[in-house]
């Protein structure tokens, strides 16, 4: 079989690394990781679902590299202090040393938590991301944002810590439940919306095939997303400016995730999709883009069977004022002023602090009224 693995290099000087994208990478994990090892052993953090489905395959792929593993409960609720301290204590009990490699084997929750554990363990050890969800492959495994949630908000505790290598095996996406796959698709659409109108056109045409399992389409979507993310992260590793573009939809999303208690009511990528739709609605309300743009965003998300609005979130939600208060914990805030990612059209996003609170309140109020 021909090897169709592609490599996206993330050029960050001494923190540079490759993102390898293809089918069958799990089976070759040992050969891929070996050059980074000082001794032939790795400590793997995973979740119970991924562990059950794929840990044996990873163990086999690692060949003679010894593997020890801890499986945490699956789900966003794991991304907090209790499971984080459990993971760090386990890594210490396993005698993971500074020159060793920690492997984050799972979706965004595991990648963020394990990356943060690696960042603080013995003041920093290297880690390899093996993302198993679409969301983690296209987004959270790349760029070095690691962390956990606080009762005050999403991802408020963490560190920038770049991985040494990312292995995105698109073959494992086949075991994802449809809801999780579509949640990850929310982040894929984000890339088209923020900076590549042609990619959004492509997604409108190919999104259904991608969701149905077309491997070539999946590989292209993962590669294009990672490429876009890599170029932005290279320009602005620690989000002083441009990197905030990757936060399109996230100011709304994080407030909604906090409001729904990081529960099954709203998955992260679902919140991103709703957040992108609201960001385009806000842009239109401020006269920045045409009415056609938010309609096209919603139409595509709907055609993919995704959540597009606050009305699609089950259970109670707080009022617009309370949601605005949650948004005020956003990490993009400067001098008390929220920064938003708005758009002049599809593929034309930009970062601005110049957004009247009243306009945001109105967009949220109207969205709540549609429930």
Ligand X SMILES: O=C(O)C(=O)C[C@@H](O)[C@H](O)[C@H](O)COP(=O)(O)O
Query: Binding site for NAD(+), residues?
Result: 108-112, 132-133, 145, 154
Which range binds ligand X by CB under 6 A, 26-34, 40-48, 245-253, 317-325? 245-253
CA distance 75 to 71: 12
Catalytic-residue membership of 247: yes
Stretch that binds ligand X, among 122-130, 135-143, 301-309, 355-363 (CB under 6 A): 135-143
From the CB of 257, what's the least distance to ligand X, in Å? 10
Q: End-to-end CA distance of the chain, in Å?
A: 51
- The correct pick among 61, 131, 143, 186 for binding ligand X (CB under 6 A) is 143
Selected binder of ligand X within 5, 83, 140, 260 (CB under 6 A) = 140
Using rule CB under 6 A, residue 347 touches ligand X: no
Please list every residue from 145 through 204 that binds ligand X, using CB under 6 A. 145, 154-155, 187
Q: How many residues does the chain have?
A: 371
Confirm if 22 and 4 have CB atoms less than 8 A apart. yes
Known binding-site residue numbers: 108-112, 132-133, 145, 154, 187, 250, 268
Residue position matching structure tokens 């595991």: 110
Decide if residue 79 touches ligand X (CB under 6 A).
Answer: no
Active site residue 38: no
Pick the closer one to ligand X by CB: 276 or 346.
Answer: 276
**Cβ-contact 275, 256 below 8 angstroms:** yes
- Between residues 100 and 187, which has the closer beta carbon with respect to ligand X? 187
Asked if 86 is an active-site residue, the reply is no
Bridge partner list, 42: 67, 101
Nearer to ligand X, 51 or 184 (CB): 184
Q: Angle at which helices 108-120 and 81-93 pack, to 10 degrees?
A: 60
Nearer to ligand X, 158 or 294 (CB): 158
Residue (43 or 45) nearer to ligand X, CB? 45
Indicate whether 260 belongs to the interface with ligand X (CB under 6 A). no
CB 156, min distance to ligand X, A: 8
Rounded alpha-carbon distances, angstroms, from residue 311 to 294, 308, 362, 367: 16, 8, 16, 7
- Per annotation, catalytic residue among 145, 223, 307, 331: 145
How many residues sit close enough to ligand X to count as binding (CB under 6 A)?
A: 13
Please state the closest distance from residue 246 (CB atom) to ligand X, in A: 4
Q: Least Å distance between CB 145 and ligand X?
A: 5
Q: Is 246 in the site for ligand X (CB under 6 A)?
A: yes
Interacting span for ligand X (CB under 6 A) from 19-27, 203-211, 241-249, 279-287: 241-249
Closest separation in Å from C-beta 268 to ligand X: 7
Q: Does 243 bind ligand X (CB under 6 A)?
A: yes
Q: Which of 54, 161, 218, 331 binds ligand X (CB under 6 A)?
A: 331
Contact between 88 and 120 (Cβ < 8 Å): yes
Stretch that binds ligand X, among 85-93, 205-213, 218-226, 246-254 (CB under 6 A): 246-254
Shortest distance, position 236 Cβ to ligand X, whole Å: 9
Q: How far apart are CA 166 and CA 323, in angstroms?
A: 35
Give catalytic residues, as residue numbers.
123, 145, 187, 229, 239, 243, 247, 250, 254, 268
Give residues in contact with ligand X (CB under 6 A). Answer: 139-140, 143, 145, 154-155, 187, 239, 243, 246-247, 250, 331
């Amino acid at each position: 079989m021909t090897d169709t693995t592609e490599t996206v290099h993330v050029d960050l000087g001494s923190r540079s690394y490759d993102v390898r994208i293809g089918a069958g990478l799990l089976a070759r994990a040992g050969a891929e990781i070996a050059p980074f090892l000082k001794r032939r052993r790795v400590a793997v953090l995973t979740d119970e679902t991924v562990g059950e489905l794929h840990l044996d395959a990873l163990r086999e792929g690692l060949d003679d590299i010894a593997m020890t593993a801890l499986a945490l409960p699956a789900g966003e609720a794991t991304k907090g202090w209790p499971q984080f301290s459990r993971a760090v204590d386990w890594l210490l009990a396993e005698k993971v040393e500074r020159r060793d490699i920690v492997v984050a084997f799972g979706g965004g929750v595991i990648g963020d938590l394990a990356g943060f554990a690696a960042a603080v363990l013995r003041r920093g050890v290297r880690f390899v991301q093996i993302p198993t969800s679409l969301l983690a492959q296209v987004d959270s495994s790349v760029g070095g944002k690691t962390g956990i949630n606080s009762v005050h908000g999403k991802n408020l505790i963490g560190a920038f810590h770049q991985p040494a290598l990312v292995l995105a095996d698109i073959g494992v996406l086949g075991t994802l439940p449809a809801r999780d796959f579509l949640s990850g698709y929310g982040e894929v659409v984000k890339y088209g919306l923020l900076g590549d109108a042609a990619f959004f056109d492509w997604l409108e045409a190919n999104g259904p095939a991608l969701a149905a399992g077309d491997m070539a389409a999946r590989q292209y979507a993962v590669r294009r997303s990672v490429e876009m993310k890599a170029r932005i992260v290279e320009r602005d590793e620690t989000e002083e400016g441009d990197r905030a573009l990757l936060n399109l939809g996230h100011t709304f999303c994080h407030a909604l995730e906090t409001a729904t208690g990081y529960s099954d009511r709203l998955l992260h990528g679902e919140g991103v999709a709703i957040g992108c739709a609201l960001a385009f609605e806000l842009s239109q309300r401020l006269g920045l883009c045409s009415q056609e743009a938010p309609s096209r965003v919603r139409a595509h998300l709907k055609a993919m069977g995704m959540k597009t609005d606050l009305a699609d979130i089950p259970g109670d939600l707080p009022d617009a004022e309370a949601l605005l208060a949650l948004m005020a914990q956003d990490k993009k805030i400067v001098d008390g002023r929220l920064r938003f990612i708005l758009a002049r059209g599809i593929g034309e996003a930009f970062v601005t602090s110049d957004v009247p609170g009243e306009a945001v309140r109105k967009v949220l109020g109207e969205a709540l009224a549609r429930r």
